[in-house]
A and B are shown apart, each in its own frame.
Chain A
Amino acid sequence: MKNPKTILTVALAALAILALACTSNTGDDIPEIERKTHSLNKAIMCPVCPGESIDQSQNPLAVSMRGIVAEKLADGWTGDQIKDFFVERYGPSVLLEPPREGIGLAAWVLPPVAVVVAIFAVFVGLRWMRRTTAIPSAVTSENTVMTLDEQESYFRRIEVALDLDDTPDGPSLPS
Chain B
Amino acid sequence: MLIIIALALALIPTIAILWPFVVGVRRDEFAEDESAPIADLMRRWDAAVAGLKSSELDHAIGNLTDQDYRTIRRQLMTEAAVVLKTMEFEEAEEEQMLTAVRTEMQAVRARVVGETISES
Q: Which A residues fall within an 8 A CB radius of B? A: 137-141, 144, 146, 150-151, 154-155, 157-158, 162, 164-165, 168-171, 173-174
Contacts and interface: CB of A to CB of B under 8 A. Distances in A.
B60 to A, nearest CB: 6
Contacts of A165: 56, 60
Contact of B77 (A139, A144, A155, A173): A155
A162 B82 contact: no
Contacts of B20: none
B37 A138 contact: yes
* Max count, chain A CB within 10 A of own CB: residue among B70, B77, B83, B86: B77
A138 B77 CA distance: 18
A163 to B, nearest CB: 9
Interface string B50-84: 00110010011010001001100100011111111
A144 B69 contact: no
A168 B86 CA distance: 26
B62 A144 contact: no
B111 interface: no
Interface residues of B, number: 25
Contact of A162 (B44, B52, B83, B86): B52
Nearest to B62: A173
B90 to A, nearest CB: 10
Contacts of B69: 168, 170
Interface string B76-113: 01111111111000000000000000000000000000
A146 B85 CA distance: 9
Contact of B41 (A139, A150, A151): A139
B79 A154 contact: no
A144 to B, nearest CB: 5
Nearest to B60: A170
Contacts of B41: 139
A169 B52 CA distance: 14
Contacts of B49: 162
Contact of A141 (B37, B53, B66, B79): B79
A165 B44 CA distance: 21
Which 5 residue pairs across A and B have the least CB separation, nearest first?
A154-B81, A168-B70, A173-B62, A144-B82, A139-B86
Contact of A140 (B53, B56, B59, B82): B82
Contacts of A140: 82
B82 A141 contact: yes
